[in-house]
Amino acid sequence: EVQLVESGGDLVQPGGSLRLSCAASGFTFSDHYMDWVRQAPGKGLEWVGRARNRLHSYSTEYAPSVKGRFTVSRDDSRNSFYLQMNSLQTEDTAVYFCARGAFCTSSRCPGPFDYWGRGTLVTVSS
């Protein structure tokens, strides 16, 4: 059974940092892209960032709203995916979901998020 479990959410002051983790199981982690998606209270879904797999040199992409402040990374040996968040702002307050992206063994791998974690809450407030 595919499982994604996020952890690390907390209350943090503006300007602070936080690192989220996503523990994956039940599938071959190294074959998939992995993504972070967030949802502010009462708002819609916003894609945050992506880490591609080894075939694509673990390359990363970011939403414009977080580029330069957030960093995604992964450790295939631990089946884990991470989101390092720096210079946090009040508008970063949200539930952060880890999501499984495309299974990728070719040069281009478009695909939906077929499994999601339950999310972890990040609150940025003084």
Partner 1 sequence: DIQMTQFPSTLSASVGDRVTITCRASQSISGELAWYQQKPGKAPKVLIYDASSLESGVPSRFSGSRSGTEFTLTISSLQPGDFATYYCQQYNDYSLTFGGGTKVEIK
If binding is defined by CB under 8 A, does position 45 make contact with partner 1?
yes
**CA 121 to CA 103: how far, in whole Å?**
27
Query: Among 103, 100, 21, which Cα is nearest to 55's?
Result: 103
C-beta closer to partner 1: residue 77 or 107: 107
Min. distance of Cβ 77 from partner 1 in angstroms? 26
If binding is defined by CB under 8 A, does position 117 make contact with partner 1?
yes
Secondary structure letter of residue 26 according to DSSP: S
CB 34 within 8 A of CB 115: no
Binds partner 1 (CB under 8 A): choice among 31, 56, 63, 76? 63
Query: Among 10, 24, 22, which Cα is nearest to 48's?
Result: 22
Min. distance of Cβ 69 from partner 1 in angstroms? 16
Tell me the residue length of the chain.
126
C-beta closer to partner 1: residue 8 or 16: 8
If binding is defined by CB under 8 A, does position 111 make contact with partner 1?
yes
If binding is defined by CB under 8 A, does position 23 make contact with partner 1?
no
H or E element that contains 45: strand 45-51
If binding is defined by CB under 8 A, does position 103 make contact with partner 1?
no
If binding is defined by CB under 8 A, does position 91 make contact with partner 1?
no
Other residues' Cβ atoms within 10 Å of the Cβ of residue 71: 17
**Interacting residues with partner 1 (CB under 8 A):** 35, 37, 44-47, 50, 61-64, 97, 102, 110-114, 116-119
